[in-house]
Structure 1
Amino acid sequence: MKNKILLSACCLFSLHLNAQTEKVSFLRHDDKKSVEVNIGGKHFTTFIYPDNLEKPVLYPILAANGQLLTRGFPLNTREGERVDHPHHVGLWLNYESVNGLDFWNNSYNIPADKKSKYGWIRNVKVEAVKESKNQGTLSYSANWENQAAKVLLKEKTTFLFSGTTSSRNIDRITTLTAMQDTVRFKDVKDGMLGLRLTKELEFATDKIEEFTDSQGNVTKVSASGNGANGNYLTSTGTKGAGVWGTRAVWCLLYANKEGQPISVAMIDHPKNPGYPTYWHARDYGLFAANPLGQEVFSNGKEKLNLVLKPGQSITFKYRVIVNSGETPNAAVLDEQAKDFSKK
């Protein structure tokens, strides 16, 4: 029986990896500061970096069956969504404490007299967009700056996009280089690769929260009554709300949306600092990997407090997998992690 189960898992993984890949194409709109990513002729996501956002993001993100994975607020509020945390937009990467500046929580909601305590990722430049039959590549550079436009870090990021009829993959490789000053990343809670998700991927609860109605008015209902049915699973076998603040190579969030399975997995890379990462995985739709918050998540038993001296660089690699139609099991994700570790 055990051999049959292993064979089944291996076959499922083989089908997943060897499934017919679909062509990736891009529509670049420099005037709108956006690059649309299409897979198999369908909109997958858009890389956006408008002046009114404090960071570049991938937004929205759609599953292969066309279902929205990401929350709409604050850029496009949809009925039944929470309207908290306006800095949670699509998929992004930044951090709460970089030389004392808060990049994570910066948004339009911060009063002008307090903005000096926050950081921006600005001067985004799309360096290259390359299409191919099986994969698309988008590379950009950007500056991590304070309010006075002093550059603390130079960012260089490459996205590798791919997909099949039922899955979508994003490999993100980000290198941060300290410029004139030594840069210190204090161990804190809010970081680093973040994703804010549709209401169905929240956890079911009877707690009354604030959501929007069809007219955009804020109403109070329970998450369960709003369609929430999400659940987490990690590579260690940890499930549910207990995933928050634990280490694992990968973490899966899955649910049903409109009667169909939908899921998203994040995979850490063994060369990343703090591997395997801690998961800042919340029940209200925030899904994040934070390898730098060790003192917080370990209750003081561990410390990292990453430091980059001028000219020093560090690289972060993550894989994000969006599935619709079927939810990958642990064996499939273990093999995906093994495959990604070789990249």
Structure 2
Amino acid sequence: MKTLLMTLTAAGLLIGTGTAGSTLDGSPWSWDKDPGKSLTLTGPSGVVCRLNFDADEPKPWIHPLNTTDGRTLTWLSPPDHPWHWGLWFSWKYINHVNFWEMNRKTGRIAGRTTIRNAEIVQADREAGVVRMTLEYAPRDREGEPWMRETRTIRIGTPRPDGSYRIDWAMRCTALSDLELGRNPKPRRGYGGFSFRGAKGFFPVTMRGAGGRPGNDLFGQRAPWASASGPVDGKTAAVAIFDHPSNPDHPAHWFVRSRKIGDGQPYTFLNPALLYEEDRTLQAGETMDLIYGVLVVPHEAEDEVLEAEFVRFGRETEP
């Protein structure tokens, strides 16, 4: 089965061009490369998107995720859920060990996600691409990890309308028998690929494929879902695509858009792979996952998102 990396290689896109902080000739976009730490797309309004993959951090994430005119859509480590990393992927439990939440007193996570061999393999007029290996094991475990993952993240340069797409592809290989677990409440499993909306990106309207509104989207299946609303006085939208090849597609959606605690906005969008039940992998078994994210600096019509979902499925064909 081809991964996104293989698809990109076949298309001749992984060419490793560009230099740190260089502006691409004739393009308003540039890539700031900090090897082993981050890859940042910038434009006339400043930072557009930063992918963080520093091995000293708990896991990779994207923040800020901005519109091309500089408005921020993600929230990194909000006080209510400091383990929310903007746009990121995290398992909830592996073999009953928590890889999602940190201990608020120690700042440590029981499940350790180790970033290895992160490499910027493309930074040109078409896209920036980072390939990395991740290993999963309990924090106190020595020796062979429980699971190894190869991950390829492609950030496309913006289009004329200011929209851009991120493709996030993973191949997970079990090195021992695994149980991938969810939170214990029946039919309420969250975890996996997740988006936490910025404090200023609120209130939002959530919709799923077929026009299903947010309140009806929770727990329902849809191939894609979006959040749109005002940020800095203008509308923006984020859509997440669940690839047709993903297990249990179309995804169940775990969504939130409300104020919690002391009135902090809580916007959360998650195609919940483990929503209904846990999943097991036998030693040596692999599982491929591909997600897409479309950022739009204006209102996004359902017809446009549906067309982009079809394009995403075709361009990242497994």
> TM-score, normalized by length of structure 2?
0.78
Q: Contact conserved, 1:124 with 1:140, CA < 8 A, in 2?
A: yes
Distance 1:40 1:318 in 2: 28
Segments of structure 1 that go 5 or more residues without pairing to the other structure are 1-20, 75-82, 202-227, 296-304
Q: Which residues of 2 match residues 156-175 of structure 1 at below 5 A?
A: 156-162=150-156, 163-165=158-160, 166-175=162-171
- Residue in 2 aligned with 1:273? 247
Deviations along 1:250-305, whole A, 9 cap, x unmatched? 1010001222111100011111011001111111212211122224xxxxxxxxx3
Deviations 1:134-191 (A, max 9, x none): 2221111111121124511111111111122411210100111111x11111354221
Q: Secondary structure at 1:89's aligned position in 2?
A: coil
Task: Indicate yes or no: 2:92 matched with 1:96.
Answer: yes
Amino acid at match of 1:266: I
Matched residue SS, 2:270: strand
Q: Deviations over 1:201-237 (max 9, x none)?
A: 3xxxxxxxxxxxxxxxxxxxxxxxxxx3211010032
Which deviates the most, 252-261 or 50-59?
50-59
Aligned to 1:290: 272
Are positions 1:242 and 2:216 aligned together?
Answer: yes
Does the alignment pair 1:47 with 2:51?
Answer: yes
Structure 1 pair 90/336, CA: closer, same or farther in 2 (3 Å)? same
Q: C-alpha deviations, 1:13-68, integer Å up to 9, x for none?
A: xxxxxxxx96764323247x223233578422222234663211112111111001
- For residues 67-90 of structure 1, give each alpha carbon's deviation from its aligned partner in whole angstroms, at most 9, with x where no partner exists: 01112445xxxxxxxx20100011
- The match for 1:61 among 52, 65, 79 is 65
Q: Determine helix, strand or coil for the equivalent of 2:312.
A: helix
- Are 2:299 and 1:339 equivalent residues in the alignment? no
CA–CA separation in structure 1 for the residues paired with 2:134 and 2:168: 15
User: Residue type matched to 2:72 in 1?
Assistant: L
Percent of pairs with identical residues: 23
SS of residue matched to 1:294? coil
Query: Larger Rg: 1 or 2?
Result: 1
When residues 37 and 110 of structure 1 are mapped into structure 2, their CA distance, relative to the original with a 3 A threshold, is: farther
1:29 is matched with: 34
Deviation at 1:192, TM superposition (A): 0.8
Which structure has the highest strand share of the two? 2
Letter in 1 for 2:99: F
Q: 1:182-261 alignment to 2 at 5 Å?
A: 182-188=177-183, 189-201=189-201, 228-261=202-235
1:263 is aligned to: 237
Structure 2: tracts of 5 or more residues without a match: 1-25, 184-188, 258-265
Aligned letter for 2:138? Answer: N
Question: Which structure shows the higher helix fraction?
Answer: 1
Contact 2:54–2:115 under 8 Å retained in 1: no
Alignment match of 2:82 (pick from 77, 80, 86): 86
**How far apart are the structure 1 equivalents of 2:29 and 2:147?**
31
Indicate yes or no: 2:126 matched with 1:134: yes
- Kindly indicate whether the alpha-carbon contact (under 8 Å) linking 1:182 and 1:310 is maintained by their aligned counterparts in 2: yes
SS in 1 for 2:125: coil
Cα distance in 1 for partners of 2:95, 2:76 equals: 31
**1:72 and 1:336 mapped to 2: Cα distance?**
27
Residue aligning to 2:20: none
> Separation in 1 of the partners of 2:43 and 2:247?
31
Q: Which amino acid aligns with 1:292?
A: L
User: Is the contact between residue 234 and residue 248 of structure 1 (CA under 8 Å) also seen in structure 2?
Assistant: yes
Number of residue pairs the alignment of both structures matches: 273
Name the CA distance, whole Å, in 1 between partners of 2:81 and 2:76.
12
Residues 61, 70 of structure 1: 8 Å contact kept: yes
